[in-house]
Amino acid sequence: MKVLIVDDEESISSSLGKFFKIDDIESDAAENGYSAQRMLRENPYDAALVDLKMPGMDGLELIKWMRSEGFRMPIIMASAHGEIEDAVKALKEGAQDYVVKPFDPEEMTIKLKNLVEASNLRAVVESNKSGSAENKTTFIGESPSVIKIREVIKKIAPSNATVLVTGESGTGKEVIAREIHAFSSAPDGPFVAINIGGVPENLLESELFGYEKGAFTGAVNRKTGLFELASGGTLFLDEIGDMPLSLQVKILRVLQDRKITRLGGTTPMPINARIVAATNKNLEEMVQKGTFREDLFYRLNVVRIIIPPLRERSEDIPLLAASIISKYNRSMGSKIDGFAPEALEALKKHDFYGNVRELENVLERAMIFAEQNVITLSDLDLRSSVSRPDVQNKPKEVLQEAVSLKEIEKQAISRALQRWEGNRTHAAEELGISRRTLISKISEYGLE
């Protein structure tokens, strides 16, 4: 990060430069507006700190010139007078913030970093507007865990090894599967996905294996199963932990023999599909309890990719947010190009227990209500986001304490009402019940 300090008082520029250096911020100093113009033409800067009162060209004139010349970096105006009129003029000419001398150098450092981060985010949003296929299949982030995941994907994708992706709901397991497919040796082949938990148990086998005409009542035509449809590409088995035991043994046989037999058929057919499975459940625990076959677990667990929750990689939120904004700009016809710094900071501090899916919901709503071309703090509604207490470190006896269903329901209604500040319509929508039912429950539990 590099900052241009424009101030005719050399002592201020020098002391600020030394302070910035402690935080690994490079800086150059210009003693007046004309020197600043020359330096801006010759060097790239991430931000500028401009004094208002200077001989020759004052700060307002310099800012106006910078914006007319296409310099888009964040600008902070500094003044020793602190008049409201000066602040209004500075912001009108294109400054992002206004400070009064003497100011706290540490506070100035924080302001600059936040403004530059928000500015970089807008640049990412602009670069994503093309909506290329690469953007759609990239597992976004720059945290060490995400970088490691991308390295693993590129290493294992060209092989035909079965992959197991685990992580909380909403972390991006299907994105990982699509990334593996995109880097595979057959990226142009089909990518076929099925949510195991979303298909009734009595239909799941026919969906996966297909069936022959006359295999059962209603089978008037042959049906091709998903294993066949994914031939030459990738089959993504989402929520594999929801697969019934009766079907697990058949999936195990497919993974061992690489052959399937349609329902009602007698001839095994070879399959040529890469298998990627995913779950938000703890399969090791399920194996111990006997609800998931141990031999199937080991067949699936050839390569394991564990996605950390978003709250453990908050540094990825800005890039994820930029990608989400770009997507909704295209689908909604919006022109949002970034965040106000305080809004971005609030997102980074929030615990997204719904992970990337929750972040996406929050941003979609914010874009609908945003009245500017940037999302502000007032546009974000983090109150309605999922809030989950940290129970991992609590004593086991506390976790096992019996609680009645009525008490759980009462607590859920009470918390929803608190989050929506008593608004019954919004609380009912969040709880998935009608307003009339909510009013009845409020009366029943004495929550009025």
Q: How far apart are CA 51 and CA 306, in angstroms?
A: 50
- Going residue by residue through the chain (448 aa), what tens digit of pLDDT does each one get? 899 999 988 888 888 888 888 888 899 999 998 999 999 988 889 899 999 888 888 899 999 999 888 888 889 988 877 667 777 788 888 888 888 888 888 888 888 887 887 776 666 555 555 444 344 446 888 889 999 999 999 999 999 899 999 999 999 999 999 999 988 888 888 899 999 988 888 889 899 998 888 888 777 788 888 998 888 889 999 999 999 998 999 999 999 999 998 888 888 888 889 999 999 999 999 999 999 999 999 999 999 999 999 999 999 998 899 889 888 888 888 888 888 889 889 999 999 999 999 999 999 999 998 888 889 999 998 875 554 544 343 333 333 334 455 666 787 788 777 777 678 887 777 777 777 888 888 888 888 7
Q: How far apart are CA 152 and CA 420, in angstroms?
A: 43
Parallel, antiparallel, or unpaired for β 163-166 and 303-306? parallel
CB 222 within 8 A of CB 212: yes
Q: How far apart are CA 425 and CA 421, in angstroms?
A: 11
pTM of this structure: 0.62
- 10 Å CB burial of residue 368 (0-12, 13-18, 19+) is exposed
**What domains appear along the chain, each with residue ranges and CATH number?**
2-127 (3.40.50.2300), 147-306 (3.40.50.300), 310-379 (1.10.8.60), 400-445 (1.10.10.60)
Q: How many CA atoms lie within 13 A of 154 on its CB side?
A: 8
Name the β-bridge partners of 100.
Answer: 79
